[in-house]
Amino acid sequence: MKKIGLLLVLLSLLIAACSSGGAEGVESEGNEEQIAATELSPTSEPADDTGLGTEDTVVSSTDDPLQPRERDWRQGNITNPAVTIIEYGDFQCPSCAGFAPLLGRLEGAYPEDIQIIYRHFPLTSIHPNAQKSAEAAEAAGAQGKFWEYHDLLFERQGQWSGLDSAAARDFFVALAEELALDVQQFTTELDEGTHADYVSASEQEAMGLGLPGTPSAIVNGQIIAGESLPREFEAWEAFVKEEIKLKELAARMYKSAPEMTINPDARYVATVEMSSGDTFKIELLPKSAPQTVNSFVFLARSGWFDNITFHRVIPGFVAQTGDPSGTGRGGPGYYIPNEIDTSLSHDEKGVVAMANAGPNTNGSQWYITYGDVSQLDGSYTIFGRVIEGMDVVERITPRDPSRNPYAPEGDTIVRISVEEILP
Which tens digit of pLDDT belongs to each residue from 106-153?
A: 999 999 999 999 999 999 999 999 999 999 999 999 999 999 999 999
| Mean pLDDT confidence for 19-24 | 52
With cut-offs at 50, 70 and 90, classify the pLDDT of residue 225. Answer: confident
Can you name the CATH fold of 5-16+47-250? Glutaredoxin (3.40.30)
Q: Determine the Cα–Cα distance for residues 423 and 416; give it in Å rounded to an integer.
A: 22
What's the longest Cα–Cα distance across the chain? Answer: 90
| Mean pLDDT confidence for 274-281 | 98
Q: Determine the Cα–Cα distance for residues 116 and 72; give it in Å rounded to an integer.
A: 10
pLDDT for res 365: 98
CB 11 within 8 A of CB 228: yes
Cβ atoms within 10 Å, residue 31: 9
DSSP code, position 223: E
Which residue did the predictor score with more confidence, 388 or 6?
388
The one-letter amino acid at 46:
P
CA 375-408-232 angle, 5° bins: 105
Helix axes 130-141, 165-178, angle to 10 degrees: 20
| Per-residue pLDDT tens over the stretch 71-101 | 999 999 999 999 999 999 999 999 999 999 9
Q: What are phi and psi of 70, to 5 degrees?
A: -60, -35
Q: How far is CA 116 from CA 7, 90, 113, 175, 224, in A?
A: 16, 15, 10, 23, 15
With cut-offs at 50, 70 and 90, classify the pLDDT of residue 22. Answer: very low
| Mean pLDDT confidence for 185-192 | 98
Q: Determine the Cα–Cα distance for residues 10 and 233; give it in Å rounded to an integer.
A: 11
DSSP bridge partners of 280: 272
| Mean pLDDT confidence for 301-316 | 97
Beta-sheet strand order (sheet of 308-309): 308-309, 412-421, 267-274, 279-284, 382-388, 351-354, 366-369, 318-321, 312-314
CA 18-207-20 angle, 5° bins: 25
Q: What are phi and psi of 68, to 5 degrees?
A: -60, 150
Do 5-16+47-250 and 267-421 come out as alike in CATH topology? no
Rounded to 10 degrees, what is the CA torsion of 145, 151, 156, 160? 60
Report the SS3 class of residue 417: strand
Q: Determine the Cα–Cα distance for residues 323 and 296; give it in Å rounded to an integer.
A: 12
Helix axes 196-208, 130-141, angle to 10 degrees: 120
Report the SS3 class of residue 271: strand
Q: Determine the Cα–Cα distance for residues 239 and 223; give it in Å rounded to an integer.
A: 15
The percentage of residues in the chain with a pLDDT greater than 70, rounded to a whole number, is: 85
| Mean pLDDT confidence for 362-388 | 98
Q: Which helix (H) or strand (E) holds 347?
A: none
Number of helical H runs and strand E runs in the chain: 11, 16
Asked whether the predicted pLDDT for residue 354 surpasses 60, the reply is yes
Can you name the CATH fold of 267-421? Cyclophilin (2.40.100)
Which residue did the predictor score with more confidence, 405 or 39?
405
The percentage of residues in the chain with a pLDDT greater than 90, rounded to a whole number, is: 80
Q: Determine the Cα–Cα distance for residues 9 and 146; give it in Å rounded to an integer.
A: 33
pLDDT for res 404: 85
Q: Which of 365, 351, 105, 45 is nearest to 237 (CA)?
A: 105
Q: Determine the Cα–Cα distance for residues 226 and 217; give it in Å rounded to an integer.
A: 8
With cut-offs at 50, 70 and 90, classify the pLDDT of residue 48. Answer: very low
With cut-offs at 50, 70 and 90, classify the pLDDT of residue 103. Answer: very high
CB 50 within 8 A of CB 66: no
pLDDT for res 139: 98
Asked whether the predicted pLDDT for residue 52 surpasses 60, the reply is no
Domain residue spans of the chain: 5-16+47-250, 267-421
State pTM to two decimals.
0.77
The one-letter amino acid at 175:
L
The one-letter amino acid at 339:
E
Q: Determine the Cα–Cα distance for residues 223 and 7; give it in Å rounded to an integer.
A: 11
| Mean pLDDT confidence for 16-28 | 49
